[in-house]
Chains A and B, each alone.
Chain A
Amino acid sequence: EDKVVQSPLSLVVHEGDTVTLNCSYEVTNFRSLLWYKQEKKAPTFLFMLTSSGIEKKSGRLSSILDKKELFSILNITATQTGDSAIYLCAAGPNFGNEKLTFGTGTRLTIIP
């Protein structure tokens, strides 16, 4: 059975801190690892990673995939209160099959 595990489940830090969120996966015919941010309802797309060892960056957020060890991390530097959200990790199988297996998510709370 496909599985995605995220850690920690919950994280509380002060504004300005740097955080690292973890995601490990076991997915048949793995092709891509996606990160989403969920604040109220709709998960918002952050990154998709398909190649091992290549970092993707967007502002203060960055992510990298290790296909040998089957994990990914999401880093957020200089955190702001607007970063408070649930961060979801999802893994997808072969090209053209778009079923995503999600982890439970990491609830990140930034204290001003």
Chain B
Amino acid sequence: DAGVTQSPTHLIKTRGQHVTLRCSPISGHKSVSWYQQVLGQGPQFIFQYYEKEERGRGNFPDRFSARQFPNYSSELNVNALLLGDSALYLCASSSWGTDTQYFGPGTRLTVL
């Protein structure tokens, strides 16, 4: 079975631009969470979606938004990019009701 997949692998943007990151969960998983991992730090929770509804939001500005589609895949959108948004963005999927989350390989975003 395929694990969590994310696209693109790498992305370079300039300040002020917009970016969309994509995630496909493990087959059968209905919950998707997004995390931001800045170099040298642990992942920080951004959003959790289940059955297309937002179930949790971390301490991130409104420039960050996400959605989940009927096939349970998800997109993370970041507007008006700042240099500080440079990070590894991780997507994790799980079955609802369990805390075991399985992570994808991440998207490395560099903002210049």
The docked-state distance in angstroms from the alpha carbon of A103 to that of B43 is 8
What is the number of residues of chain B that contact chain A, defined by CB distance less than 8 Å? 29
- Which residues from chain B contact A32 at a C-beta distance below 8 Å? 99
Total A residues in contact with B, Cβ cutoff 8 Å: 25
Knowing A34-B99, A98-B48, A104-B40, the reply to whether A42 touches B105 (Cβ < 8 A) is yes
Most buried by A among B55, B101, B103: B101
In the bound complex, do residue A98 and residue B99 qualify as a contact, i.e. CB atoms below 8 Å apart? yes
Bound form: Cα–Cα A15–B56 in Å: 42
**Do B42 and A42 touch across chains, with their CB atoms under 8 A apart?**
no
- A34 and B100 contact, CB distance less than 8 A: yes
Q: How far is the CA of A75 from the CA of B19 in the complex (A)?
A: 40
Q: Which residues of B contact A (CB under 8 A)?
A: 4, 31, 33, 35, 40-45, 48, 55-56, 58, 88, 90, 94, 96-106, 108
Having A42-B90, A97-B55, A105-B42, one finds 4 other A-B pairs with CB under 8 Å, namely A45-B103, A98-B94, A98-B101, A104-B42
Q: Which 3 A-B pairs have the closest CB atoms?
A: A102-B42, A92-B99, A32-B99
A sample of 15 inter-chain contacts (CB < 8 A) reads: A34-B100, A34-B101, A36-B103, A41-B105, A42-B90, A42-B104, A42-B105, A43-B90, A48-B100, A96-B97, A97-B55, A99-B48, A100-B45, A101-B45, A104-B40
